C-alpha cells in the first residue's frame, strides 16, 4: 500500500512560502511512497543541474525549479522525483538501494519494496552549505526544526520495516533526533516509531566519491538481511550513548 503524499507536499509548500525570501529553489515534493518498506533516508535532495536538464529538457534549470513557479510546476516536480527513482535517466544514486532490496528478497525469498525520503527538503548540492544553512552541527535553526517535524510525521505514517540512513551527516542528525538504541543481538540500532521498534542501520554514502567500498557494502547487505531474519523483540528502549 502506498501513502499518498499530497497533504505533506502542501505542508512543505506552505513552509517554503513562509521562508520564500531565502528559499528561491523549490523543495523536494514526494510522489506516493510505499509503506512497510525498506526505507532509505538521505540528508537532502541535491540540485544537480546537469541531471535535471537531462530529466526535464529545461533550458533554464534555475527558472524551472524556481519556487515561485510551484503552482504550475509542482506536479511536474513530483513526476520527475518518481522518474528518478525508476532509474530511466541514468541517476545512479538509487542503484545500491535496488541492490540491497534484491539481496534481501533473494536470501529471504520475499518481495519487499524499497523507498526513499530525505530528512530535509532544501535542494542544495553542497553538503557544507546545507549544514551551515540549517545549523546541523551547532544547533538546528527553526527552519530545520520545522522540516524535521514534517519528516517525523511522514516516517511514522510510512511504518518502515527496515531503516537505512545512507549518509554520514544524515546519520548523525538522525541519531541526535530519534535516539535509536544500539542492540548487540542485532548488530544495529532500533528506532521507536508509533509504538514499534524498527531495525536501523546508520552508514555512509552508498554511491559517489565517498561511497562504501565493495567489501564494506557486501558486509552491510549481509548484516541488514541477518538482522531482519533474526529479529529481537521487546527491546527496552534507552537513549543510545
pLDDT of residue 191: 97
* Mean predicted confidence (pLDDT) in 192-221: 93
Residue 102: closest CA among 230, 219, 221: 221
Residue 117: closest CA among 199, 50, 192, 27: 27
Q: Which residue matches cell numbers 519494496?
A: 113
pLDDT of residue 12: 98
- Residue ranges making up the domain that contains 141: 31-48+91-229
2-3 and 33-34 strand pairing: antiparallel
* Mean predicted confidence (pLDDT) in 206-217: 91
CA distance 174 to 165: 8
In a domain, 57, yes or no: no
Is pLDDT above 60 for 152?
yes
In a domain, 78, yes or no: no
CA distance 115 to 170: 16
In a domain, 6, yes or no: no
Q: Which residue matches cell numbers 524498527?
A: 198
Lowest-confidence segment of 7-16, 68-77, 188-197, 229-238 by average pLDDT: 229-238
In a domain, 9, yes or no: no
* Mean predicted confidence (pLDDT) in 213-224: 96
**Phi/psi class of residue 135: alpha, beta or left (left: φ > 0; alpha: ψ in -120 to 50)?**
left
Is pLDDT above 80 for 237?
no
* pLDDT tens-digit readout, 85-133: 887 665 788 999 999 999 999 999 999 999 999 999 999 989 999 999 9
In a domain, 97, yes or no: yes
CA distance 103 to 87: 18
* Residue 209 banded pLDDT, cuts 50, 70, 90: confident
Is pLDDT above 60 for 241?
no
Domain count along the chain: 1
Q: Which residue matches cell numbers 552491510?
A: 220
In a domain, 195, yes or no: yes
pLDDT of residue 223: 97
- Average pLDDT taken over every residue of the chain: 92
Tally Cβ neighbours within 10 Å of residue 228: 19
C-alpha cell at 31: 510522489
- pLDDT, greater one: 117 or 236: 117
pLDDT of residue 88: 62
Is pLDDT above 70 for 148?
yes
CA of 152: how far to CAs of 27, 85, 111, 149, 183, in Å? 17, 22, 26, 5, 22
Residue 191 near residue 137 (C-beta atoms within 8 A):
no
In a domain, 98, yes or no: yes
Q: Any idea what DSSP says for residue 92?
A: G
In a domain, 123, yes or no: yes
Is pLDDT above 70 for 234?
no
- CATH number at 197 reads 3.40.470.10
Amino acid at each position: 500500500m502506498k501513502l499518498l503524499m499530497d497533504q505533506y507536499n502542501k505542508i512543505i509548500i506552505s513552509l517554503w512560502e513562509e521562508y520564500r525570501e531565502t528559499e528561491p529553489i523549490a523543495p523536494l515534493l514526494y510522489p506516493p511512497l510505499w509503506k512497510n518498506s525498506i526505507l532509505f533516508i538521505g540528508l537532502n535532495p541535491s540540485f544537480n543541474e546537469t541531471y535535471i536538464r537531462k530529466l526535464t529538457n529545461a533550458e533554464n534549470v534555475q527558472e524551472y525549479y524556481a519556487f515561485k513557479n510551484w503552482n504550475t510546476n509542482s506536479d511536474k516536480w513530483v513526476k520527475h522525483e518518481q522518474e528518478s527513482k525508476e532509474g530511466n535517466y541514468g541517476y545512479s544514486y538509487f542503484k545500491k538501494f535496488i541492490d540491497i532490496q534484491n539481496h534481501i528478497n533473494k536470501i529471504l525469498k520475499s518481495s519487499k519494496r524499497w523507498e526513499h525520503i530525505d530528512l530535509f527538503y532544501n535542494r542544495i548540492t553542497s553538503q557544507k552549505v546545507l549544514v551551515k544553512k540549517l545549523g546541523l552541527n551547532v544547533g538546528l535553526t527553526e527552519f530545520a526544526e520545522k522540516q524535521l517535524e514534517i519528516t517525523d510525521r511522514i516516517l511514522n505514517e510510512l511504518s518502515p520495516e527496515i531503516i537505512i540512513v545512507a549518509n554520514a551527516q544524515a546519520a548523525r542528525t538522525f541519531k541526535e533526533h530519534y535516539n535509536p538504541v544500539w542492540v548487540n543481538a542485532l548488530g544495529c540500532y532500533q528506532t521507536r516509531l508509533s509504538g514499534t521498534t524498527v531495525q536501523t542501520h546508520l552508514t555512509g554514502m552508498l554511491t559517489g566519491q565517498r561511497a562504501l567500498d565493495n567489501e564494506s557494502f557486501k558486509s552491510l547487505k549481509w548484516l541488514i538481511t541477518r538482522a531482519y531474519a533474526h529479529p529481537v523483540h521487546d527491546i527496552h528502549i534507552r537513549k543510545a550513548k
